[in-house]
């Protein structure tokens, strides 16, 4: 239990994904294990990692040290694009489990698109990994709507989410609508816009009205739209702050004011490996 009760979930093509999770990008070593352990003790029930983060061993240690039952933790990891050839993908998925010291993960994602490997082959391998019991669910990350639809056409197993950059300053409305049309959850990484939210007057005004921080308003704005958030922090006090977003609600007017901050130019993360993608 968190201070405000159990964290609600969103349903997506057979998966139940907690609306709040812990992102672990850039967390390393003992601090990573400690943050994961404390997050779960505070009531978090979702942890996000990736083979590229080089911290799966520590994430697994934190999960075990927390004392929370494995079945109560929704654990996500991601396969790096250099491992998208079918045999490489299966080997990479098994290596993730070895590092995590788990028999399966709850969600396995393709981390970024890789135009060098036919998507149908990669999706076929991802579906096979699910059928082989290495993961309960599968999905994608940093996929455009066009790529999602190509992936869905090739998939023999349900895809449950697209994990993407999502925060009040980036207009993701077209992608969000497309995901919902196909029953996919949207999982927001960098939901706090890498700290850019601190000096925004709209978020400051709404925060003052609710006795909350700008970060809490930002996270509440997303979860109130049933978008999963996975803020990353290396500070224990921020874990509690980020979790205290389910004891209040934003008004329709406040939601509109925050939504008006969005821009097509608000993207912070655009990786060259993805090729010349046309973002939604």
Q: Is-contact 150 119, C-beta < 8 A?
A: yes
For residue 271, give the 3-state DSSP assignment.
coil
Which letter does DSSP use for residue 232 in this model? Answer: B
Q: Is-contact 66 44, C-beta < 8 A?
A: no
Distance of CA 26 to the CA centre of its chain: 15
- Annotation says 189 is catalytic: no
The CA distance from 14 to 24, in Å, is 25
Token pair of 261 as six digits: 């901050």
Q: Is-contact 46 73, C-beta < 8 A?
A: yes
Q: Where are the alpha helices (DSSP H) in the chain?
A: 29-42, 56-66, 86-100, 119-131, 145-154, 173-181, 201-210, 214-223, 236-243, 252-259
Token pair of 174 as six digits: 């077209």
Q: Which residues are tagged catalytic?
A: 53
């Amino acid at each position: 239990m968190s201070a405000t009760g159990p964290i609600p979930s969103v349903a997506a093509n057979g998966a139940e994904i907690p609306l709040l999770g812990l992102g672990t990008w850039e967390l390393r070593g003992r601090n990573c294990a400690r943050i994961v352990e404390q997050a779960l003790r505070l009531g978090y029930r979702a942890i996000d990692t990736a083979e590229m983060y080089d911290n799966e061993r520590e994430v697994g240690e934190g999960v075990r040290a927390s004392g929370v039952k494995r079945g109560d933790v929704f654990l996500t990891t991601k396969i790096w694009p250099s491992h998208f050839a079918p045999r490489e993908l299966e080997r990479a998925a098994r290596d993730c489990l070895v590092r995590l010291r788990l028999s399966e993960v709850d969600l396995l994602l393709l981390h970024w698109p890789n135009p060098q490997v036919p998507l149908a082959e990669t999706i076929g391998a991802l579906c096979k990994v699910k059928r082989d019991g290495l993961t309960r669910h599968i999905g994608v990350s940093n996929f455009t709507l066009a790529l999602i639809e190509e992936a869905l056409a090739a998939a023999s197993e349900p895809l449950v989410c697209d994990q993407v950059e999502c925060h009040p300053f980036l207009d993701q409305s077209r992608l969000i609508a497309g995901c919902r049309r196909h029953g996919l959850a949207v999982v927001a990484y960098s939901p706090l816009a890498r700290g850019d939210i601190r000096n925004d007057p709209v978020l400051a005004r709404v925060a003052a009205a609710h006795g909350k921080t700008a970060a809490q308003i930002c996270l509440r704005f997303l979860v109130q739209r049933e978008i999963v958030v996975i803020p990353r922090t290396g500070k224990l006090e921020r874990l509690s702050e980020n979790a205290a977003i389910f004891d209040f609600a934003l008004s329709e007017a406040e939601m509109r004011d925050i939504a008006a901050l969005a821009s097509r130019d608000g993207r912070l993360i655009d990786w060259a490996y993805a090729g010349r993608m046309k973002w939604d």
